[in-house]
Amino acid sequence: MSQAEIQTRKGASLRGTLSGQSLGLILGILPLVSFMGVFFFWPLWSVLWSSFQDNVGAFTLANFQVALGEPYKTAFSNSISLGLISAISSAIPGAVIAYVIESRGGERLRQFVASISGVLSTTGGVPLAFMFIAAYGAEGSATAVLRAFGINIYAGTFTLYSLAGVIFVYSYFMIPTMVIVFSPAVHGIRKEWQEAAKNLGATTAQFWRRVGIPLLFPSFISSLLLLFAAAFSAYATARAMTSGSVALVPLMIGNLVDGNVINDQMNLGKALAMGMVLVSLVAMIPYLLIQRRASRWQ
């Protein structure tokens, strides 16, 4: 190979990495990226843009001022509590199930639990609401079965059509979701680590306090955040269950869009939607960061 040839090759490959190759790379993802641009990012951008406009298109902060006042303030606080309580009350049983199945179940059982969880995690919406109304309503046979075992869910002030009811219904798809997202983390707690700790003289409790829980904690928190985001923004089930009796942000946005509630600021709904996006981002950005970190040792 002559000197000149080497030079050109070098030049070509250099230029290749800079332009030709990257152009090719970008072409490969162009269809997907443009699709997401048109049908996802462009609509979101338009919400952001319009949320700062008044009815004639001039810049204003008035939509956000109204969105931060009553009744929307209560709706935000309800939605955030719904998200938090729902996430915590599903994350704990989900984590326990994931741990017990991963550590004690055979390969076949794990596979089975994974596919069942996958199916259950996609439920939701109106059918799930009706299923719970039929089963755990005052006349439902699930209520009767529980009562026969001494558990009367209607002994207190519980009704399905309240925040507590919605949290109960959400657990039907949130616990399986937790099992799915938390299992890989539990799987990552290697048997060898437990044995190594034991060989170094640690008790089981010490292993969990010093090794197990510190390792699982980030994944637990990140799964919790994912569940929070799901419960915070869920719309269909909440709407079918409460038919508007509980003030939640997505339902209020829905009422504005459907024209059930008239507000003279036509972009108020967009400001509320941006508020939801903001809350979700605050929850999901740490989720993504922790996931990336956790994937290092999994």
Partner 1 sequence: MFAKLKNLPLGIVLFISGVFVLLPLGSAAEFSLRQPASNDHGLNNYLWIFEQPEFAHYIGISIALASVASLILLVLLVPTVVWLNLKGQKLRPFVDFITLMPLVIPVVALAIGAQNSLPEFAQTNQFILSFLYAVLAMPYAYRTLDTGLKAIPLKTISEAARGLGANWFVAIFRVITPVIRGTVLSALFMSLALSFGEYTVTSLLHWDTFTTWVTVISQQNVMGAIALSVFSLLAIFIFLLLVGLLAKPATSQALKEEE
What are 142's two structure tokens? Answer: 């699930």
Give the residue, chosen from 11, 20, 28, 69, that forms a contact with partner 1 under the rule CB under 8 A: 28
- By beta-carbon proximity to partner 1, the closer residue of 192 and 258 is 258
> C-beta of 211: minimal distance to partner 1 in Å?
20
> C-beta of 68: minimal distance to partner 1 in Å?
17
What are 28's two structure tokens? Answer: 């490969």
DSSP classification of residue 265:
-
Residue 30 CA from chain centroid, whole number: 28
- By beta-carbon proximity to partner 1, the closer residue of 5 and 264 is 264
- 3-state SS, 189-207, equals CCHHHHHHHHHCCCCHHHH
Instruction: Looking at residues 62 to 91 of the shown chain, list those that interact with partner 1 (rule: CB under 8 A).
Output: none
Q: Measuring CA to CA, which residue among 52, 74, 46, 42 is closest to residue 268?
A: 52
Give the residue, chosen from 88, 126, 151, 213, that forms a contact with partner 1 under the rule CB under 8 A: 126
Q: Which stretch binds partner 1 (CB under 8 A): 56-64, 70-78, 181-189, 274-282?
A: 274-282
Instruction: Looking at residues 212 to 251 of the shown chain, list those that interact with partner 1 (rule: CB under 8 A).
Output: 229, 232-233, 235-236, 240, 250
Between the CA of residue 62 and those of 39, 51, 87, 260, 269, what are the distances in Å? 28, 9, 33, 21, 12
173 binds partner 1 (CB under 8 A): no
> C-beta of 6: minimal distance to partner 1 in Å?
25
Q: Which stretch binds partner 1 (CB under 8 A): 65-73, 193-201, 207-215, 280-288?
A: 280-288
> C-beta of 277: minimal distance to partner 1 in Å?
5
Tracing tokens 């009367």 back to the chain, one arrives at 152
Between the CA of residue 290 and those of 16, 44, 80, 98, what are the distances in Å? 35, 25, 21, 19
174 binds partner 1 (CB under 8 A): no
